[in-house]
Amino acid sequence: MSTQITQTFDEPYFGGGGDGASAIPNIGGSLVAINGRIYPIDTASNRYSQRSIDVLQQRNTADNRDLLLLPQNIWRQQSYAWHSGAGQSNLDRDDAIDSRYEDSFGIDPWTKWRFGLLNDTTQLQSITNSDGVFLTDHDGYLVVVNENMTYWYQDYQTLTASVTLGPDTIIDIADRGSPILGLNENGYIYQIDSPSGTATQYYNSALTGANMIAWEKDYLLCGQANVLKWVKTGNQTSTVYTHPDTNFRWISAAEGPQAIYLLGGVGDKWIVHKVTIKDDGSGLNPAIVAAELPDGEIGYKIESYLGFVFIGTDKGVRMAQPDANGDLTLGAIIPTTEPVRCFEGQDRFVWYGVSSMDPAYVPVNNDQANVFPTSPVPGLGRMDLTTFTTTALTPAYANDISVWDESAAAVTAVKTFLNKRVFTVSGAGVYYEIDDKVPAGWLTQGIMSFSVEDLKAALYMQIKWVPDCAGRLLLDLSFDSAAYGRYARLNVSGSNIRSDNINLYGTKFSRVNVRYVMTRCPLDNTKGPIPTRWELRAFPVKGKASRWDVPVILADDVDINGIVEARNPLADKNQLLSLIQNGTVFQYQESGQSYQVLARDFIWQPERLSTTGNGWQGTFLIVLEEVM
């Protein structure tokens, strides 16, 4: 080898850029570039090689219980519980809840390990009033208060009596005490206690400007503009608290364990105050702040159940927890598109008004299940106080019963009567649930990627159910956010419990979502399909990459396309070792091509001492793997 230096290289060499292959004009067949530096390679020893390697994906999840039963490289995603309700868009993130799903319409998910169709509804009474319509139960009757009339129902088929509640339209009622109290638009409070009774004045003077009354902890409270009053027996009132802002309005009240809570506000600032009973029981202490809603969130209703407080706002529902002093800790918002104006607690559930529930169903071709409303409808949502999701004050929730043949309108009241929910729809009527199931329902599971975004090939899916009715169960899949396609049309009966394996023909995908669609039994409207388990099997798509064994010559002098350059073999060796030890991703160039690689291994074969004293000269076999 010559020791003459004719030209030096003071910049790294990159003969082309970017990912993948690119032309590199100045490197010959026995030269390569590693991380921007050109090296000659030993082509005579036959140690140079390039070969393909498989690129396999791994699931990025700590939960491997469903992998142990499967053949190697076959993955399974399954769903077998839905009782944690809706609101989870991605099924396989680390913090995802297995028993939670994305969204539903017409579906009852509240029994563990299964879901089914909700009950349908029918109209009890038609109303044209677009303002307040109120519901209460009193001595075994369901009472509808509409304008200045009370309608007393002994059951859902029998209207016992219609009785006036004073001469003017009722704008609020107080229904926790006895009798039923109604505040009318002129500020007078009337009372009635039976379908055969006659309404009389409870308070003989007009409370001009009053807009709210509430019977809480045996006190009748009245919101009169910005003044909160205690309306006493004997035609007397006592001011509990006057808010300093004359535009402030009290709109709703509920009793908690330690205090009475009152919701009020002005503009975009809404507050929950608490009022406590004096130690000697002689009256009420002035109102003080218990919680503040976020700025811009408007309050509409406050209610309590099982020691919790629920606040209906223009954003949705907030659950709150009182502490020992009666102050409230607010939970995260449960979203709705319209304000929440009413609540009803029964057993472990709390129902709330949903004024606009979107069926959100996009049909597939020749869709036999396309019986859903085409625009939003009014109905109820439901929360389960035994199951919590993202925070300690965020219960499981889902859409509940609705009125399919009415357009979205304010749901202003809800009650439980004869173990069925009954609710009012502004300008439309009073509706109650019946034993028949809804004609159809759907549930979307949420996006699944097997915890890795790289391509998978879908093998098959299957679903199991409770053998009973002869309803239809349809399975739709959306691959990578494309439109849903129908992959199965199944007849559910009493003689089968599961589908066959439904072939998915190796469809390649990164993400997938499943939509279950069900129709009720054509022979018995009180029944519908009850799925219990769904699973999808897939395998990772193998990528192809290259692996090189590159025998790099490290010498005192190297010939680069006829230009002799002096090198430091020891420094070159250490530089190559650092690529391996540091896990550096770098560019490897040869034969006019460029690749992104990692250095995985090496073999150092010294041949002779450096003439300059810079260590050994020899061949450094470096093992490179392409990064895909």
Q: For the segment 263-299, what is each residue's pLDDT rounded down to a tens digit?
A: 999 999 999 999 999 999 999 999 999 999 999 999 9
Provide the pLDDT for residue 8.
38
Answer for the pair 291, 278: CB distance below 8 angstroms, yes or no. Answer: no
pLDDT in tens, 21-30: 333 344 556 8
Provide the pLDDT for residue 61.
56
* Residue spans of beta strands (DSSP E) within 185-327: 189-192, 200-203, 210-216, 219-224, 227-232, 236-242, 249-255, 260-266, 269-275, 288-292, 299-305, 308-313, 316-322
d(CA 182, CA 220): 11
pLDDT in tens, 483-528: 999 999 999 988 889 999 999 999 999 999 999 999 999 999 999 9
CATH number, span 75-116+442-541: 2.60.120
Provide the pLDDT for residue 620.
97
pLDDT band with cut points at 50, 70 and 90 for residue 54: confident
pLDDT in tens, 380-436: 999 999 999 999 999 999 999 999 999 999 999 999 999 999 999 999 999 999 999
pLDDT band with cut points at 50, 70 and 90 for residue 615: confident
Provide the pLDDT for residue 10.
41
Question: Given a cut of 90, is residue 309 above it in pLDDT?
Answer: yes
pLDDT band with cut points at 50, 70 and 90 for residue 18: very low
Who wins on pLDDT, 30 or 573? Answer: 573
Options 1.10.3470.10, 2.130.10.10, 2.60.120.200, 3.20.20.70; CATH for 119-357+365-437 is 2.130.10.10
Provide the pLDDT for residue 145.
96
Provide the pLDDT for residue 312.
98
pLDDT band with cut points at 50, 70 and 90 for residue 468: confident
pLDDT in tens, 422-431: 999 999 999 9
Using alpha carbons, select from 96, 116, 120 the residue that is nearest to residue 107.
116
Provide the pLDDT for residue 178.
77
Distances (CA, A) of 351 to 340, 398, 414, 415, 438: 11, 10, 8, 9, 18
Backbone angles phi, psi at 27, to 5 degrees: -110, 125
- Mean predicted confidence (pLDDT) in 569-594: 94
Q: Could you tell me whether strands 328-330 and 316-322 are parallel, antiparallel, or unpaired per DSSP bridges?
A: antiparallel
Using alpha carbons, select from 457, 459, 532 the residue that is nearest to residue 497.
532
Tokens for 198, please give them: 């006659």
- Mean predicted confidence (pLDDT) in 443-466: 93
Tokens for 315, please give them: 């954003």
Sheet containing 395-402, strands listed edge to edge, beginning at the edge strand earlier in sequence: 343-346, 349-357, 377-388, 395-402
pLDDT in tens, 189-216: 999 999 999 999 999 999 999 999 999 9
**Mean pLDDT over all residues of the chain?**
91
pLDDT band with cut points at 50, 70 and 90 for residue 63: low
Provide the pLDDT for residue 3.
35
Provide the pLDDT for residue 69.
47
Using alpha carbons, select from 604, 618, 611, 458 the residue that is nearest to residue 535.
458
d(CA 110, CA 98): 14
Question: Given a cut of 50, is residue 7 above it in pLDDT?
Answer: no
Q: Domain boundaries in the chain?
A: 31-55+545-626, 75-116+442-541, 119-357+365-437
d(CA 117, CA 110): 11
d(CA 594, CA 575): 20
Provide the pLDDT for residue 364.
92
pLDDT in tens, 95-154: 999 999 999 999 999 999 999 999 999 999 999 877 779 999 999 999 999 999 999 999
Answer for the pair 51, 546: CB distance below 8 angstroms, yes or no. Answer: yes
